[in-house]
Structure 1
Amino acid sequence: MRYFGGISGGREFWLFSVGVPSVFWLVLMVCRQTVYLLEGIHANAWDTRREEVILQETRRGRRALQILGVECFTAHSAMINAQFSASSQELFQGENKLSPQTSWQGHHHIRHSRLPVTPGQKSEDLLLNCFTEILKQIAPKISSLPPDNPVAILLEYTSTLSGEKIREVWRFAWQKSAIQQPVEFVKGKGVGFIDYWLDYRIKDNAVLLIIALQIAPEQPEMTTETVVALLLANRLTQKTLAPLTLLHRPEKSSAGDLERGVLQAGDWVPVFPDTLKHLWLTGLHGEGALNSITLPGKAPFVAITNASAIHRPDMTLGHAGCAAPWLAVAAAAQAAQLRDEAQMIISSEQGQGDIWSAVVAPCDIQQENVT
């Protein structure tokens, strides 16, 4: 045989005709197999990371705040120094308190509900009494925390009283309470602030005190007066006080997307289809109000088939302004504690199209660990 200009025998023939191609294909197969294994390792690593991210985000979504204390004054309160539990049953049962009466501005036959007042009492004096009584109930809980435990205060109000006046009255009541813990005022609005807190301050030692009120509104027709206090804490850091109930992460949706929003809010707990026993609706209007009517009987409200399980404070008390969602949360927390039943709140803030859905549930509802 002649190869590369020379004469070669049979061994050289088989070496060049079979051996060299075999080595070439063997090297090619090894390279291809290596590439395949590397791709598989990369895909497995990506899948593992994807599962970790999904689990991390699920746990992040299923964060919740402890409800350590609830105080609220409404038209159901026989007197300002009465505890909220004394009037919560009337609020739960939907006792109607709307009636034509004289407003703070002196207008007669205005249909609304008001906090109980004494003859000649001014609105700022009423507010001071409310703040004083609320702090009288909340102070022992805060004082049982370490002396250096911060208290973050969210103060929301709807009133003809100026913001400066309301803050002045609050500071005076706080000083009288003799609470020693350091205080910081935080900026926020509505239930969306809970979503923010769960995202960015879940590992804080600070407890969150929400004070929301409506007193002497500018347009009192079909409104109610209320002062609400909620003391909340992070489950990861607060171990001193036993929580009454849990406020789970709220979910934002539009009126047209309401069904998805309530399903996601239920999944943040998570709740079984028959777990939710009561539904609180407040601040809803237009399409949101219409869509909320169709929710009972569907997931996650399959257990809500009776009208008595649907609570509408706006219809029995009047709209509570910026305090409306917090009034519903306070009432739901009281009901969840007393009845050991999960409650959902669907609320919308005045002048906004966003709808927030959130679950208040007993502390023993099964939930994944959160981080």
Structure 2
Amino acid sequence: MPVRLDKIPALAPRPAKPRIWLWLGLLPLLLLLGMGVMLLFGSQSLQQSVSFWTLGLGAPLLSWCLLCFGRALMFFGQQYAADGWDEARELDLIRKVRCGRRSQQVLGTSLFSALREPGEQGTAQSDALLSGSSALEAQPCWLDGSPVRHSRLSRLSDEDPELTLFGILEQVLAELSPALAKMPQDTPLALLLEIDSHLPQNLLSRIWRKAWSASGIRQSTVPVTGVGLDALDLWLDLRIDDHALLMVVAVQFSPTQPAGTAEVAVGLLLGNRLTQTTLPAIAYLHRPEQERGLTHEHLLYAARQALDWVPLTAQSIERLWRAGIDARREGAIAATLNAVPLPKQPKQELCDLDALLGHAGHASPWLAIVAAAQTLERGAGPQFVFSGGSTSDAGLWGTVLTPASPPSK
């Protein structure tokens, strides 16, 4: 349910003001007309009486006054209607801007990619991403063992896919559980779970339940409506006053077509700024904005609107992240970066996760968001994310993350 500021109706047309000289010129014309009618059609006796002047001058004057009153009444009526329309439009605009500028607290993050070894802290992975280290290489895939250029999560050589995926999910939940341990047990927890794998769905469900049981997280979960950033957009529309936390777990593991892909596991814990006061925020995730057509103009509008939701100028962005972007959109991305403008040239200001890790499918937007949030946690400034999804015909998203405000003393 995107907030569409470009669909706000235009201001009401204003009525033309009465032309004073026209109305002043109409008065003598009516008086001459009244006198002419009396002279032509009035009797001799009437012309010599006082009634002649009363009818000849008074009637036109009265008519002129009535016409002026009617014109003034029409003008003020139209003006009042236009004021009412503009006031309602302004209230609607304010309501939509306030809705569009809603944001979420980032309370916990977890990210596992090919750049993170088992047992290694996430800071080494962040350093590798920021320095432009690539994990894409030709290596055996899960499906048939044939060498395919892709990146994959670190694993033991003798592990089977089921055990490996269980260990990955267990580690993601282990990094989110400390934040949840500080929350009351009855805190509502909404779950957005997205796992893309060649493994059958019933097996994925069993692995997830097993990992959740092993995590020790006390809160019970309720599934979220929607997928990807659409689900976050809908949450900001409908559940901004909710006391529930939103947990996102997105995994791409052993995809059906591994060439050029990335195996990643991402965890993200979000809270509503209006209701969540127990945990300190790592960063703020602002409303994402999706392009509404696969053109440069639509992508430029989405980027500018995403910045306006903060609000923030493009010059304030310290780093740009890209993930899940089809090669055919490179021209639109480049044109948008030039027009906004966002960081694009210095290597340290641009992180192309597709080039470093490969395409992460459904997990692409969450991969970029968590990578940006972890960079903010280390003291960086505002971050901008361009992200796509698993299909090339889906519109790209623009998302801004900003540092959390310092705690009040």
Q: Same fold (TM over 0.5)?
A: yes
Counting only pairs closer than 5 Å after superposition, residues 9-28 of structure 1 correspond to structure 2 as: 10-28=49-67
Greater shift, 289-298 or 21-30, is seen at 289-298
CA distance in 2, matches of 1:23, 1:316: 86
Residue 266 of structure 1 aligns to a residue whose secondary structure is helix
Deviations 1:302-346 (A, max 9, x none): x54313311111212122221122111111111123233111111
Partner of 2:358: 318
On the 8 A contact 1:296/1:305 being kept in 2, the answer is no
Q: 1:331 aligns with which of 353, 357, 371?
A: 371
Amino acid at match of 1:24: S
Which structure has more RCO (C-alpha within 8 Å, separation ≥ 6)?
Answer: 1
What does 1:233-244 correspond to in 2, within 5 Å?
A: 233-244=271-282
- Return the offset for 1:230: 0.7
Q: State the match for 1:209 in structure 2.
A: 247
Q: Does structure 1 residue 60 correspond to structure 2 residue 99? A: yes
Q: How far apart are residue 236 of structure 1 and its match?
A: 2.3
> How far did 1:6 drift?
10
Contact 1:266–1:300, Cα closer than 8 Å, also in 2? no
Normalised by the length of structure 1, the TM-score is: 0.89
CA contact (8 A) 1:262 1:300 kept: no
1:106 deviates by: 4.2
Q: Distance in 1 between matches of 2:58 and 2:114?
A: 98
RMSD of aligned alpha carbons: 2.5
Q: CA deviation at 1:360?
A: 1.6
Q: Matches of 2:81 and 2:215 in 1, distance apart?
A: 61
- 1:340-351 aligned at under 5 Å gives the runs 340-351=380-391
Which amino acid in structure 2 is aligned with residue 34 of structure 1? L
> What is the one-letter code of the residue matched to 2:69?
V
Number of paired residues?
A: 363
TM-score calculated relative to the size of structure 2: 0.81
1:144 is aligned to 2:182 = yes
Q: Which runs of 5 or more structure 2 residues have no equivalent in the other structure?
A: 1-37
- Give, in whole Å, the separation in 2 of the partners of 1:221 and 1:40: 65
Separation in 2 of the partners of 1:234 and 1:179?
20
Matched, 1:251 2:284: no
Do residues 77 (structure 1) and 101 (structure 2) align? no
What is the alpha-carbon distance in structure 2 between the residues aligned to residue 355 and residue 338 of structure 1?
Answer: 27
Larger radius of gyration: 2
2:160 equivalent to 1:118: no
Q: Secondary structure at the match of 2:378?
A: helix
1:308 aligns with 2:348: yes
Tell whether the 8 Å contact from 2:242 to 2:275 is kept in structure 1 after alignment. yes
Partner SS state of residue 274, structure 1:
helix
Q: CA deviation at 1:31?
A: 2.5
Given that residues 277 and 304 in structure 1 are in contact (C-alpha distance below 8 angstroms), is that contact kept between their aligned partners in structure 2?
A: no
The 2-side partners of 1:178 and 1:350 are apart by 32
Residue matched to 1:93? 131
Deviations 1:139-168 (A, max 9, x none): 232233343321111111111222222222
Q: Does 1:47 align with 2:86?
A: yes
In structure 1, what is the Cα distance between the partners aligned to 2:338 and 2:345?
A: 6
Question: Is the CA contact (8 Å cut-off) linking 1:255 and 1:287 kept in structure 2?
Answer: no
Output the CA distance in 2 between the equivalents of 1:294 and 1:23: 67
> Aligned to 1:197, which of 219, 222, 235?
235
Shift of 1:174: 1.9
**Regions of 4+ moved over 6 Å:** 1-6
Map of 1:369 onto structure 2: none
- CA distance, structure 2, for counterparts of residue 24 and residue 207 of structure 1: 71
State yes or no: 1:35 paired with 2:74.
Answer: yes
Q: 2:171 aligns with which of 116, 119, 133?
A: 133
* 1:151-170 aligned within 5 A: 151-170=189-208
Q: For 1:67, give the aligned amino acid.
A: V
- Residue number among 302, 312, 315 corresponding to 1:271 in the alignment: 312
Structure 1 distance, partners of 2:147, 2:392, is 29
Deviations 1:95-147 (A, max 9, x none): 11122222223424322222121242122222222222222221232233343
Q: Which runs of 5+ in 1 are unaligned?
A: 366-371
Identity of aligned residues (%): 33
